[in-house]
Amino acid sequence: MSASIDIPLHDIMPLVEVPDTSIYWFSALMVALLVVCVSGVIWFLKWKRSKRITQRELHYKALEKIDLKNPKQSAYTISKEGYFFAHDNERTLGAYQNLFKRLEPYKYAPSVEKIDEETLGYYHLYLGIIDV
């Protein structure tokens, strides 16, 4: 037994120092995940904001969906919803005032006839002028 202790071992390498960089890899992974998550949240918020309906769109849709079969109610609704856009610029103000004057006979009479074609033309012109 004592003879085997004296035999030198030549095939075993000495211990090698291994640098520990795992904390840097972990930190880089966490930063990358944080960037991806923040980007995803920002994209989602922008997408959600683009889908939101504005007040202008609501009033415009209300103007478009007016039932012209009931002339008295239609005249009141056109006047009310159209006022929202009247002060956008000079052109819309003039068109609204002209349309408002043409709708007066349909508002204040106890019984009214069907809205005439000329007034409907001004109504459709006003819808075309509005920028939504």
Asked whether residue 31 is assigned to any structural domain, the reply reads: no
15: in domain: no
Q: List alpha helices for the chain, DSSP H.
A: 2-5, 22-51, 55-64, 71-86, 90-107, 117-129
Contact between 1 and 7 under an 8 Å Cβ cutoff? The reply is no
Give the confidence band of 9 by pLDDT, cuts at 50, 70, 90: low
pLDDT of the residue at 12: 75
Closest CA to 76 of 91, 89, 65, 66: 66
pLDDT tens digits for 107-119?
888 888 999 999 9
- Any domain includes 4: no
Residue among 65, 57, 59 at smallest CA distance from 96: 59
Q: What pLDDT, in 10s, does the model give residues 63-77?
A: 999 988 889 999 999
- % of the chain residues with pLDDT over 70: 93
pLDDT value at residue 84: 93
What's the mean pLDDT in 39-45?
97
Count: domains in the chain: 1
Q: Pick from 96, 116, 98: which is nearest to 106 by CA?
A: 116
What's the rounded Cα separation, in Å, for the pair 115 and 48?
Answer: 41
Give per-residue pLDDT as tens, 85-107: 998 899 999 999 999 999 999 88
For residues 106 and 71, the answer to whether their CB atoms sit within 8 Å is: yes
Residue 10 lies in a domain: no
Domain that holds residue 111: 55-129
pLDDT of residue 15: 83
Q: How high is the pLDDT of residue 30?
A: 97
Predicted TM-score of the model (pTM): 0.63
The pLDDT tens digits for 51-60 are 888 899 999 9
92 found inside a domain: yes
Determine contact, residues 99/123, Cβ cutoff 8 Å. yes
